[in-house]
A and B are shown apart, each in its own frame.
Chain A
């Protein structure tokens, strides 16, 4: 058995970070904020522009910018052209794209056992 794959697992980004979506015209921004400061480097290495582009592939995104905010433990993604023209043009029930933070939080992230343990602790803390 491969030792690397034995000690790593995949979790949804939703376990590691929270997020908020905002819109301006046809441009979406999604802030992704680490639940714990220790998770921030993992977000920086795993939540890349390329992976975000793949997640929104059907919407044929234009430019995607990623801004790093280490003091907040957050990444801010600015994604052009994914709102079907924006709230006043789109036929989507959610023309603002308010639900799309959770689209990003669906991203699968490879994590080690140590991180898994911290996620468990986080869950208990929140209960």
Chain B
């Protein structure tokens, strides 16, 4: 009898995620033996623009950690027919496919059938003047667009998998689509069945941030204790033909799956819970039920769906000038007063036209606002170990460097006992968001090696 459950595991929840995360997930999927897929989400909002710049500079335009992520699991996935779907193609899905084919050869695997999903890149090969004008509304006047990518849905991923792909490489797709594609392809669901697509989207939403649903970004000692964060198990979702889901993780891994972890991730980055917009469906979470049915096993049901929106979201990236940071520390008696004196000293020395922010780390930093209202409005918590942080931003790199140079000069010109100066200046990519009509976007897929 065929296994009625389709399992989808997550091997990465963002571009900086652990490189060994997928190994226990693939072990668990292989051990379970039924049909399964492994997804990787490695693209943040501005990652694509950074990748585009890397590619333009002649360096790697796909996920720089692609090989590190896939090396430990590629052979086992191919041997067990566990399809791999990832947005690790970034700005160069073709290059990523080439790298995977090459890696498979070096690892002595059978040659994988690799599909490439394209059409998200709205700048390449398009001479649609209306589209160009629309994208320009996403950046301030006079700025040059570095990248513009639409968030694609899951249809091309599903079609590629139905066509026999072992690996599907994408650029920008909506994160949940990395799960929706495989689920729909395997269970044979209809993209017009809104409630089922909603269930698949909810699965993708729960999986897309990796360990965030298995006890990561969750632990609060004494309140929400989590063991084994150093070996946290990445999530696996079991999807049944009726659309019900069970979230779990590999046995003997760290972390936990509980009603609490699932509820937190369910609402992560959600605005109106009755209308979470994705390219494949409008997801309604208001009737969702979350129930623990066993150790590290949580059933999630009740997702509702409405037809997909008529527009696709696109992220537009442009050069955002330069950001500089400088830090210096003060400790012991009167540390806060000395750090404040240092802050005032730098503030008086730097160009008033620069965007400027100061933090008194150890007393007041993360909760404060850029305009400095919180820092000046209330009595600051005392601390005997304060690190002054200055941050400045401007279009002109030299202006930023000159301001940050002032932090180092505090060694001799500033208050007593200042130590541990660190400074950095880096370029920055800014982003804007535009809604694009579906007619302006042409998603497609093809197999690597085909003409």
Report A's interface with B, CB cutoff 8 A: 14, 18-20, 22-25, 27, 29, 31, 33, 58-59, 65, 67, 69, 71-74, 76, 78, 84-94, 98-100, 103, 123, 126-127
CB neighbours of B45 from chain A (8 A): 87-88
B431 at the interface (CB under 8 A from A): yes
CB neighbours of B287 from chain A (8 A): 71
Q: In whole angstroms, what is the CA distance A94 to B370 when docked? A: 11
Contact B323 A20 (CB under 8 A): no
Q: In whole angstroms, what is the CA distance A27 to B287 when docked? A: 25
A-B pairs with beta carbons under 8 Å apart, 8 shown: A20-B268, A31-B268, A72-B290, A73-B263, A76-B270, A93-B359, A99-B366, A126-B222
CB neighbours of B295 from chain A (8 A): none
Cβ-defined partner of A84 (8 Å) among B263, B289, B370, B430: B370
Cβ-defined partner of B374 (8 Å) among A29, A58, A67: A58
B373 at the interface (CB under 8 A from A): yes
Contact B270 A22 (CB under 8 A): yes
Cβ-defined partner of B269 (8 Å) among A22, A71, A123: A22
Contact B369 A72 (CB under 8 A): no
CB neighbours of A20 from chain B (8 A): 217-218, 264-265, 267-268
B272 at the interface (CB under 8 A from A): yes
Nearest CB on A from B258, distance (A): 11
Contact B260 A18 (CB under 8 A): yes
B266 at the interface (CB under 8 A from A): yes
Q: In whole angstroms, what is the CA distance A119 to B274 when docked? A: 31
B443 at the interface (CB under 8 A from A): no
Contact B263 A74 (CB under 8 A): yes
Q: A71-B289, A126-B223 are in contact. Are A100 and B367 (CB under 8 A)?
A: yes
Nearest CB on B from A104, distance (A): 11
Residues of B in contact with A, size category: 35 or more
Contact A78 B271 (CB under 8 A): yes
B286 at the interface (CB under 8 A from A): yes
Contact A91 B393 (CB under 8 A): yes
Contact A123 B264 (CB under 8 A): no
CB neighbours of B288 from chain A (8 A): 71-72
Instruction: Count chain B CB atoms within 10 A of each CB in A58, A67, A74 and give the residue with the most.
Output: A58
Q: Which 6 A-B pairs have the closest CB atoms?
A: A22-B269, A31-B267, A91-B357, A84-B370, A91-B391, A58-B373
Instruction: Count chain A CB atoms within 10 A of each CB in B45, B265, B271, B374 and give the residue with the most.
Output: B271
Q: Please provide the chain B residues from 225 to 281 with a CB less than 8 Å away from any CB of chain A in the complex.
A: 225, 260, 263-274
Q: In whole angstroms, what is the CA distance A33 to B268 when docked? A: 12
Contact A67 B266 (CB under 8 A): no
Binary contact readout B422-436 vs A (1 if CB under 8 angstroms, 0 otherwise): 000000111101000
Cβ-defined partner of A29 (8 Å) among B271, B355, B365: B271
CB neighbours of A25 from chain B (8 A): 431, 433
Contact B222 A123 (CB under 8 A): yes
Q: In whole angstroms, what is the CA distance A78 to B274 when docked? A: 13
Contact A69 B286 (CB under 8 A): yes
Q: In whole angstroms, what is the CA distance A20 to B271 when docked? A: 13
Contact B270 A33 (CB under 8 A): no
Q: A67-B274, A88-B429 are in contact. List 16 more A-B contacts (CB 8 A).
A: A20-B218, A20-B268, A31-B268, A58-B373, A72-B266, A73-B263, A76-B267, A84-B370, A85-B370, A88-B320, A88-B431, A89-B320, A91-B356, A93-B361, A93-B365, A126-B224
B113 at the interface (CB under 8 A from A): no
Q: In whole angstroms, what is the CA distance A84 to B393 when docked? A: 13
Contact B269 A90 (CB under 8 A): no
Nearest CB on B from A73, distance (A): 8
B379 at the interface (CB under 8 A from A): no
CB neighbours of A87 from chain B (8 A): 45-46
Q: In whole angstroms, what is the CA distance A59 to B368 when docked? A: 8
Contact A18 B224 (CB under 8 A): yes
Cβ-defined partner of B370 (8 Å) among A67, A92, A99: A92
Cβ-defined partner of B264 (8 Å) among A18, A78, A86, A93: A18
Nearest CB on B from A44, distance (A): 15
B377 at the interface (CB under 8 A from A): yes
Contact A59 B366 (CB under 8 A): no
Nearest CB on A from B311, distance (A): 16
CB neighbours of A24 from chain B (8 A): 269, 271
Closest A residue by C-beta to B433: A25
Nearest CB on B from A15, distance (A): 8
Q: A71-B288, A103-B367, A126-B222 are in contact. Are A93 and B389 (CB under 8 A)?
A: yes
Contact B46 A91 (CB under 8 A): no
B220 at the interface (CB under 8 A from A): yes
Cβ-defined partner of B369 (8 Å) among A18, A29, A59, A93: A59
CB neighbours of B285 from chain A (8 A): 69
Binary contact readout B274-309 vs A (1 if CB under 8 angstroms, 0 otherwise): 100000000001111110000000000010000000
Nearest CB on A from B139, distance (A): 12
Contact A58 B368 (CB under 8 A): yes
Contact A92 B357 (CB under 8 A): yes
Contact A99 B367 (CB under 8 A): yes
Nearest CB on A from B227, distance (A): 13
Closest A residue by C-beta to B273: A67
Nearest CB on B from A66, distance (A): 11
CB neighbours of B433 from chain A (8 A): 25
